Amino acid sequence: MEDKKKVIFSGIQPSGDLTIGNYLGALINWSALQNDYDSYYCVVDLHALTIRQEPKELRARTLKNIAIYVASGLDPEKNTLFIQSHVPAHSEAAWLLNCFCYMGELGRMTQYKDKSQKVGESVSAGLFTYPVLMAADILLYNTDLVPVGADQKQHIELARDLAIRFNNLYSPTFTIPEPYIADTGAKIMDLQEPEKKMSKSADNPNAYILILDPPEVIRKKISRAVTDDLGVVRYNEAQPGVSNLISILSTITNKKPEEIVKDYEGIGYAKFKSDVADALVAELQPVQNRVKELLEDKTYMESIYKSGAEKANYVANKTLRKMQKKLGIIPR
């Protein structure tokens, strides 16, 4: 019999349009793993609701994200692609896990501290318990690996702590997940403040490039990207803006940063930037065309997220039933 494949679970919030940070830092790596793992990728719409959303936009973005997953190379036959709210076990398991999580643990989460500062008075309880829902997402699938950015490591630690706590109080129920912070996927930085990670929630649209930005917008944003006045294409800490553009080009072309530096010896920023923009446009155009086709094919889109939810419900419900049974809840 074939060895059981390890399970991967990850999710992206439909709280903003996806950037080339998501694409180069997450999506293309996920596609590279699809033959070797049993992978679940989820659009975490319930997490997005921790911040006010425009219903119409949330709907559109949720579908767009599924289309982007597929267009970026995730084969819906090989990966389970679904929408979080289509699997009610996530909400149910989150409640159960809430009863095992301490206020102090949640209060220490840096993402909560940052976000709650931003929204001020109107911090919802959902924003506070957000990591518990995330733990439910992960634990329901007996997940081994969770590919995420470094900022999510703390949340995965909490998922591990909750899993260990539950396993110790009852009996082994959950697989203890590991964060998987890929070193192949570059960390893409903000184009205006290259000391910060590129984020879909930045205020200035020139700070990020969206996967679906039209070519002329991509060119304009790259040409406006902050560099420095040294005038040499080098990869080092003193030149964060230029180094970030090198990382982008390096990830797309599979060339090492040092090779790129060599290629651009004696060549100025204008030519370098226009090459980076060309490479990005060439990389993203097929993805954009595919997203457009997918969104026009409602029946196919529906078949993707419905069959994804069917498989996810099956696995998640099994784990949920185990939890309920151990806790003394009468089977339905």
The CA distances from residue 299 to 52, 63, 67, 68, 205, in Å, are 29, 12, 13, 16, 33
Give the nearer residue to ligand AMP in terms of CB position, either 118 or 298: 118
Binding footprint of ligand AMP on the chain (CB under 6 A)? 12-13, 21-22, 25-26, 147-149, 187-188, 197-198, 200
| Cα dihedral 327, 163, 93, 302 in deg (nearest 10) | -140
Side-chain half-sphere of 302: how many Cα atoms within 13 Å?
4
By beta-carbon distance, which residue lies closest to ligand AMP?
A: 25
Query: Is 8 an interacting residue with respect to ligand TRP (CB under 6 A)?
Result: no
Closer by beta carbon to ligand AMP, 83 or else 96:
83
In the complex, what is the shortest distance from the CB of residue 100 to ligand AMP, in angstroms, rounded to a whole number? 25
**13 touching ligand TRP, by CB under 6 A:** yes
Q: What's the closest the beta carbon of residue 321 comes to ligand AMP, in angstroms?
A: 30
Choose, from 6, 78, 187, 200, the residue flagged as catalytic: 200
The single residue of 115, 187, 311, 322 carrying the catalytic annotation is 115
**Active site includes 197?**
yes
What's the rounded Cα separation, in Å, for the pair 214 and 211? 9
Least Å distance between CB 197 and ligand AMP?
4
Which 152-211 positions form the footprint of ligand TRP (CB under 6 A)?
152, 155
User: CB-wise, 201 or 204, nearer to ligand TRP?
Assistant: 201
**Measuring CA to CA, how many Å separate 101 from each of 87, 97, 160, 165?**
22, 6, 12, 9
Strands 145-147 and 79-83: unpaired
Pick the closest to residue 280 from 221, 203, 194, 198 (CA basis): 221
Of 4-12, 112-120, 314-322, 324-332, the window that binds ligand TRP (rule: CB under 6 A) is 4-12
89 lines the binding site for ligand TRP (CB under 6 A):
no
Our answer to whether residue 311 is catalytic in this structure is: no
Give min distance, CB of 81 to ligand TRP, in A: 14
For residue 5, report the phi and psi dihedrals to the nearest 5 degrees: -75, 150
- The closest alpha carbon to 39, from 175, 132, 137, 143, belongs to 143
Q: Which does 22 bind (CB under 5 to 8 A by kind): ligand AMP, ligand TRP, none?
A: ligand AMP
Instruction: Give CA–CA dist 186/322, Å, rounded.
Output: 39
Which of 129, 134, 141 minimizes the C-alpha distance to 159?
Answer: 134
The number of beta carbons lying within 10 Å of the beta carbon of residue 209 is 25
β-pairing, 178-180 with 145-147?
parallel
Out of ligand TRP, ligand AMP, none, which partner does residue 9 contact, by CB within 5 to 8 A per kind?
ligand TRP
Nearer to ligand AMP, 198 or 294 (CB): 198
Instruction: Establish whether 115 is a catalytic residue.
Output: yes
Between 9 and 174, CB nearer to ligand TRP:
9
CB 327 within 8 A of CB 99: no
Alpha-carbon gap, residue 75 to 34, rounded angstroms: 8
Q: Which amino acid is at 311?
A: K
- Taking residues 26 to 45 in sequence order and writing x for each that binds ligand TRP by CB under 6 A, - otherwise, the string is ------------------x-
| Binding to ligand TRP, residues 40-79 (CB under 6 A) | 44, 47
Contact residues toward ligand TRP (CB under 6 A) are 9-11, 13, 44, 47, 134, 137-138, 146, 148, 152, 155
Catalytically active residues are: 115, 197, 200
